[in-house]
Structure 1
Amino acid sequence: MSIAIVGAGAFGTALAVALSANGPVTLWARDIRWGRDNPRLPGVALPDAIRITDDLPTATRADTLLMALPAQALGGFLADHAALLDGKHLVSTAKGIDLAQLTGPSVLLSNACPRATVAVLTGPSFAADIARGLPTALTLACANAEAGKALQHALSTPVLRLYRTTDVTGAELGGALKNVIAIAAGVVIGAGLGDSARAAIITRGFAEMTRLAARLGARPETLTGLSGLGDLTLTCTSAGSRNFRYGQALGARQPFDSTTTVEGAATARAVAALSDQIGEDMPIAAMVARLAEGRMTVDDAAQSLMTRPLKEE
């Protein structure tokens, strides 16, 4: 099974490094002037087994394409290039919900490429850890069980362990929604509200994640796995998470690097719109959306959550 990664951000590049341990891998980037030292993954020289190209038709000759593009960029990319991808094994690595269509990347891929086999690769992972060869466990979700098994074997390495599920919706939503909760956890710490408050946000945020995922057809138990609880734990407790750092900056009322992709900010807005559409209460996601848009202060957000009606857990 030949493999190419479409997108040379930090995570796509890290996956290329990891998978090159199994054999040749193609890495497609819009700009390859950086040679074999990607500035998005500093300090990691790319192995010789990685072929870097800016020619998309060349990259998409591979059987399996890992779509390592930001969630909000995927729709536009598919509008231009779907014909090159159709009929392939397409594995989404994006963690977000599209603002325009209020759906996850797997649905965008399936709609644009109806003959493709679509899967999702998600779970607790930082690009730097993967690139350094540190042990990492991820979830591979594919509705086609046999295709999922083949992909599981092709994309696993001695230090990258994949667990398989057919619940694409649950795995994808776990990866998207945890970014929203990570921002909220960062706000709590940035505002100096303490670790007890962060634990409460993580716990109630997980309840929100599970509730929305179940409403959209996911299996609730999927959210207790790597793609939900596992990823939530990592991103809410580590400064290695861009979403957590963004939340910290919001909470501390400090500027944040606008060139850094923060998937959770756009996803919070998408979740707020989606929850209104289907009538599902998502107070933490709604709070994050308002904070990110500058429509609520941190003090007002804390008061809003603490004065909600008392109820059973």
Structure 2
Amino acid sequence: MAIQKKRKVLRSPFVVTVAAAASFAGAVALPGCDPTITEGSCPETRPAMGSSCEEEDLSCNYGEDGCGSPIEARCSDGRWIDLTPTCNPPPPPPPPPACPDQLPKAGSACSDVGVSCPYVGPADCPERSTATCGADATWTVETKPLACNPPPPACPDEMPAAGSACSLLGESCSYDGPPDCPEPTTMTCSVEGTWSVTIAVACNPPPPPPPEDCLSAASGEECAALGPACQWLVPGCAEGSGTPALSAAGCFPSLPCGEVDAPCPAGTRCQEVVVNPCVASSPDGATCAACGRTMSVCLPPSAATTGG
């Protein structure tokens, strides 16, 4: 409803004649009485700005806008003008989503009381959960577990061949290398569903010791630690064979030598001797029923004795 405001005082005095009063007010003044002009009133609804009006300086109020400012119109120079200040109210905040993207934690806050949200678990075991926003504006969660078969083991017992099929994408498995190169090798199940080598350890075994190092080993354990380049030999029985027996147990190069002495280290030469085959590679001195075996070995000149 329009609220009429008090008109302002007329800007200058004027005289109203009986004829003017009659034409203006629609009535003729009685003799001895002053003519009366009925005050203008506000339209019931807000007039269109710029439309014509008759009551100069008449102000009308039509409530408040979205910013709390009065909506006013005034009659000025025979036209309605807008006195309402410009207002750009901020947009209301968007409502929060009824169902969160992820299963909410039980007891956490919610806003839409009564809303129920279903959630499904992982694809390999899809358990079903329902979150409900209770009257206390907190989530309650009900979960119904389903019977699921456990997933297959991620890593095969044996290292798979590169390019072979795999099922658990993104899984990586480590496998120990051979004894001479114990560093692990990592295999990964790629997005194509095949095994690929992601970490291939380049293992180069250490070079063998020089042959002369074998002669310095004082025990079977030290000889074995030098690797396959050295061998621990024990004298065998050379009676009646005509071939000298090894004079004493020791560590000797494993070089294949024959009639030529070139492969043997300095201070040694290739000699044919009789060794005990039962302990040729045994550092604990084990014996057996075998008598001896003839073999060519790089030896110092004094390391052979003639058999009787």
TM range (shorter): under 0.3
Structure with more relative contact order (C-alpha pairs < 8 Å, separation 6 or more): 1
Larger proportion of strand: 2
TM-score w.r.t. length of structure 2: 0.16
Bigger proportion of residues as helix: 1
Larger Rg: 2
With the length of structure 1 as denominator, give the TM-score of the two structures.
0.16
